[in-house]
């Protein structure tokens, strides 16, 4: 790692967004420290899709390749650790880690992602990212035309129904309790022959994450190959909020079009600040944050 304790930029989160930001900053001759706790949100997914040049690769392989390329720049250092607190100082910030490290920096980038909160449905978390999927652009092609469920209610169930119907017509909505769809929404869904099942779910049966059937609390069952679901989430890292960064109504870090957060000298990129959750978006916003941050520093120094 590093004996150095002072950096131009500390990037918290060393997955796709953080590494992309580090690439731009390291190549701009900034002394960068990446602190990463090694828990990217897609770690259970066997294959990542929809990112050109890496389509179908393992998520960890994409990150490893990126890390190897980024760490070729001696301007960038990588620390496997958890950042636990941050404080503002006269010249920037200090960041403290779980193992007791304290580091100073002029600027901060949060590439910390979000934490998906698994619902209390037996089998859900084991299937998450394998056959319980959140995004048709990432995994829809692999389960096209298959018998597929939508585990959602209300506006979101309607949204998913109209979207996923593009990939399969074998669709059923599971509201897992009383439907909160309006009559108008229900009529629209019925027009496309998509059943709405309100029975409460006891369990998702699977083999190694490969979905077999839904078991309801009344012991009836429903065979399926895949389920779409979007669980709630929270910020993976609370330090931005400790430092006064504002969140959007959805719970994302508020940023402008240049990835600047609402506190001076703090940037955010990737899932922590964007509802468009994809590897390509994380790489893109990380790259923007790095370039804009460096540009600001050149202005300050000139
Ligand atoms: C199940 C699943 C499957 C997906 N499949 C695809 C797909 O096929 N194609 C696609 O394009 N996208 C896919 N996505 C979306 C994609 O994985 C994310 O958009 C992407 O990982 C976001 O990158 P990120 O760098 O912002 O965050 P993450 O990749 O989530 O990384 C955040 C990093 O920050 C670290 N971190 C957080 N807090 C701290 C802290 N306090 N200190 C130190 N480190 C910290 C974490 O450990 C982690 O390493 C999928 C997502 C999920 C959930």
Looking at 229, 264, 284, which one is the last position of a domain? 229
State which residues form the domain around 167: 119-229
Would the pLDDT of 115 be above 80? yes
pTM reported for the whole predicted model: 0.96
| CATH number of the domain that residue 24 is part of | 3.50.50.60
1 pLDDT tier (thresholds 50, 70, 90): low
Q: What's the chain's Rg over C-alpha atoms?
A: 22
> Is pLDDT at 285 greater than 70 in this prediction?
yes
Cβ of 277 less than 6 Å from ligand 1: yes
Q: What is the tally of helices (H) and strands (E) in the chain? A: 8, 17
Does residue 175 sit in the same domain as residue 153?
yes
Average pLDDT of 84-94? 96
Residue 246 lies in a domain: yes
Which run of H or of E encompasses 204? strand 201-207
In a domain, 1, yes or no: no
Q: Are residues 174 and 241 in the same domain?
A: no
For residue 4, pLDDT beyond 80: no
90 and 108 belong to one structural domain: yes
**Average pLDDT score over residue span 62-83:** 98
pLDDT at 213: 97
Helices (H), the chain: 16-27, 59-70, 124-127, 136-139, 154-164, 183-191, 239-242, 279-301
Give the burial string for 213-246 (b: 16+ CB within 10 Å, else e).
Answer: ebbbeeeeebebbbbbbbbebebbbebbeebebe
Specify whether the CB–CB gap between 148 and 290 falls below 8 A: no
Query: What is the pLDDT averaged over residues 49-70?
Result: 98
Q: Tell me the C-alpha distance between 103 and 7, whole Å.
A: 8
Confidence of residue 206 (pLDDT cuts 50, 70, 90): very high
Q: For residue 250, is it within any domain?
A: yes
Which pLDDT belongs to residue 3?
60
Secondary structure letter of residue 254 according to DSSP: P
pLDDT at position 101 over 70: yes
Q: Does the beta carbon of 67 sit less than 6 angstroms from any atom of ligand 1?
A: no
What pLDDT score was predicted for residue 120? 92
Average pLDDT, the chain: 97
Tell whether 269 is covered by a domain.
Answer: yes
Residues 112 and 236 grouped into a single domain: yes
Asked whether residue 62 is domain-assigned, the answer is: yes
Average pLDDT for 204-226:
97
Residues 17 and 36 in one domain: yes
Say if 131 falls within a structural domain.
yes
Neighbours of 268 (CB within 10 A): 31
The mean per-residue pLDDT over the stretch 230-254 comes to 97
Any domain includes 132:
yes
Same domain for 105 and 153: no
Confidence of residue 286 (pLDDT cuts 50, 70, 90): very high
For residue 251 and ligand 1, the question of a CB distance below 6 A is answered with: no
Q: What does the pLDDT read at residue 31?
A: 98
Instruction: Select from 229, 259, 277 the last residue of a domain.
Output: 229
Strand partners, 203: 122, 215
Do residues 76 and 17 share a domain?
A: yes
182 with 237, same domain: the answer is no
Secondary structure of residue 285 in the 3-state scheme:
helix
Residue identifier of the C-alpha nearest atom 48 of ligand 1: 40
User: Residues 103, 3: contact at Cβ < 8 Å?
Assistant: no
Task: Please count the other Cβ atoms lying within 10 Å of the Cβ belonging to residue 98.
Answer: 12
Instruction: Decide if pLDDT at 282 tops 70.
Output: yes
Mutate to test the pocket of ligand 1, among 1, 10, 11, 13 (most ligand atoms within 8 A of CB): 13
12 and 110 in a single domain? The answer is yes
| Ligand 1 atom having least distance to the Cα of 129 | 1
Domain-terminating residue out of 229, 263, 279: 229
Whether 223 and 236 share a structural domain: no
Looking at the structure, tell me whether residues 41 and 92 fall in a common domain: yes
What was the pLDDT predicted at 9?
A: 98
| C-alpha to C-alpha distance for 253 and 247, rounded to whole angstroms | 5
Same domain, 138 and 206: yes
Ligand 1 atom closest to residue 116's alpha carbon, by position in its atom list: 53
Q: What's the pLDDT band for 97 if we cut at 50, 70, 90?
A: very high
At residue 91, φ and ψ (nearest 5 deg) are: -105, 10
Looking at the structure of the chain, the number of domains it has is 2
Q: Mean pLDDT, to the nearest integer, of 242-253?
A: 98
């Amino acid at each position: 790692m590093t004996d150095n304790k002072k950096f131009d930029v500390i990037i918290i989160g060393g997955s796709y967004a953080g590494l992309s930001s580090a690439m731009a900053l390291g190549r701009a001759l900034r002394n960068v420290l990446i602190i990463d706790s090694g828990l990217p949100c897609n770690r259970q997914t066997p294959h990542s899709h929809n990112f050109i040049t890496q389509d179908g690769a393992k998520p960890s392989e994409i990150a490893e390749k990126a890390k190897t390329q980024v760490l070729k720049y001696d301007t960038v250092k990588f620390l496997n650790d958890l950042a636990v607190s941050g404080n503002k100082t006269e010249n920037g910030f200090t960041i403290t880690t779980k193992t007791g490290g304290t580091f100073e920096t002029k600027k901060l980038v949060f590439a910390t992602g979000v934490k998906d909160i698994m619902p209390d449905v037996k089998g859900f978390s084991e299937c998450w990212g394998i056959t319980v999927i959140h995004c048709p652009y990432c995994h829809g092609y692999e389960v096209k035309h298959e018998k597929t469920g939508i585990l959602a209610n209300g506006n979101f169930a309607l949204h998913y129904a109209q979207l996923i119907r593009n990939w399969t017509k074998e669709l059923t909505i599971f509201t897992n309790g009383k439907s909160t769809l309006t009559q108008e929404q229900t009529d629209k869904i019925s027009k496309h022959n998509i059943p709405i099942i309100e029975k409460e779910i006891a369990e998702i049966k699977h083999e190694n994450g490969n979905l077999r059937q839904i078991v309801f609390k009344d012991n009836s069952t429903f065979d399926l190959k895949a389920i779409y679901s979007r669980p709630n989430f929270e910020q993976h890292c609370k330090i931005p909020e400790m430092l006064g960064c504002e969140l959007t109504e959805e719970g994302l870090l508020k940023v402008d079009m240049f990835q600047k957060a609402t506190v001076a000298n703090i940037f955010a990129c990737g899932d922590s600040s964007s509802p468009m959750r994809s590897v390509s978006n994380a790489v893109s916003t990380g790259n923007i944050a790095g370039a804009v941050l460096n540009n600001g520093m050149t202005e300050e120094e000139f």
